[in-house]
Structure formats: C-alpha cells, structure tokens
Structure 1
Amino acid sequence: MNESRDYLELTFRSVSCFGNDGRLDAEELGELIAIAERDGKFDANETRVLKRIIDRIRPDEIDAAMKARLAELTQKLGSA
C-alpha cells in the first residue's frame, strides 16, 4: 500500500497561504482541511502537519469564521 503524500501538499500549500499575507484565514484553512480529507481520513502525517499549522495561527488572527473552522478541525482530529 502506498503512503499518502497529501501531507507534503499540505505543507507546501500552508507555506503559500502564510506567505501571501503573513496570516492564515478561515477559507485558506478550509482548503488545507479539504486536502487532508480527500482520502476520507486523517493519517498521522496529515494530523502532525495540521497541528503545526494551527500552532502558527496567532490569537489576533482568530475571528468568528476562523474560530468555527478551528473547532471543526479539532473535533475531526480528535476522532481521527
């Protein structure tokens, strides 16, 4: 069985998202989550990368939309 390489795309895309304006918004986070969900599950590498991405989000970047996305992702990662 081949190992998923979605985590590599997640890493690359997150660099692009943070790089374009220095922050990550809810829409960009949603796009990253969609990459990880393509195969229907979060593997260990995807989980690791997503958690590192979340760690880079500054408190002043969290608006209502981002808070909702983070809550959704936290729930999904908890059940992964």
Structure 2
Amino acid sequence: MTAERDHLEMAFHSITCFADDGRLDAAELDRIVAIAERDGTINEDETRVLHNIIARITPGEIDALMKMRLDALRRKIGPPAEPAA
C-alpha cells in the first residue's frame, strides 16, 4: 500500500488482531507500528489510528512487555488530539 493508505492497512490489521482472540499483544502492536513507520514517519492519520487502537486495549492485556511498548509508542506519537468543539 502507499503511505497515504497505510492507516487503512493499520486499522484493518488491528481489527483482525482483536477479532482473532479479542486481545492485542505486544507482537501484534509492533506489526501495526511497523506499518506506520515503514516510510520513515508516522503521519497524522497513522497517529489517529494508533490512538484509537491504544484506546481499545484493556488493562488485562497490558503485561510488562506491552506496557513497555505502549510507553515507547506514546513518547513517539504524543497524547491524543483534543476533539473539535
């Protein structure tokens, strides 16, 4: 896919990961982040998709490895954008 559509590929991949067993593990998150990073940057659409994915992760899915991955990802992409008023 092209960089303009990577966010769609990321969203689709996350759906299949969550649908598989209802959870997202660190390896699956790494694969989704790799899609965003393969062109060298994480753009606004990819950031939005990553924030949506993070929001769907439940506390029970966060083991030590997942916490480390999420912390690193949050440092890269920053906090979610505030909704428009």
Q: Same fold (TM over 0.5)?
A: yes
Q: Distance in 2 between matches of 1:62 and 1:3?
A: 29
- Write out per-residue CA displacement over residues 10-67 of structure 1, whole angstroms, 9 at most, x where no aligned residue: 0100000001000000000000000000111111100000000000000111000100
Indicate the structure whose relative CO is greater, using CA pairs within 8 Å and at least 6 residues apart: 1
Q: Distance in 2 between matches of 1:3 and 1:68?
A: 27
Q: Distance in 2 between matches of 1:20 and 1:50?
A: 19
Give the TM-score, by structure 1 length: 0.92
- C-alpha change, 1:21 and 1:3, in structure 2 (3 Å) is closer
Q: Distance in 2 between matches of 1:75 and 1:4?
A: 23
- Greater than 2 Å deviation, 4+ residue runs: none
Residue identity opposite 1:24 in structure 2: L
Kindly tell me the number of residue pairs found equivalent between the two proteins.
Answer: 77
Unaligned 5+ runs, structure 2:
79-85
Unaligned 5+ runs, structure 1:
none
Aligned-pair identity in percent equals: 57
Residue identity opposite 1:45 in structure 2: D
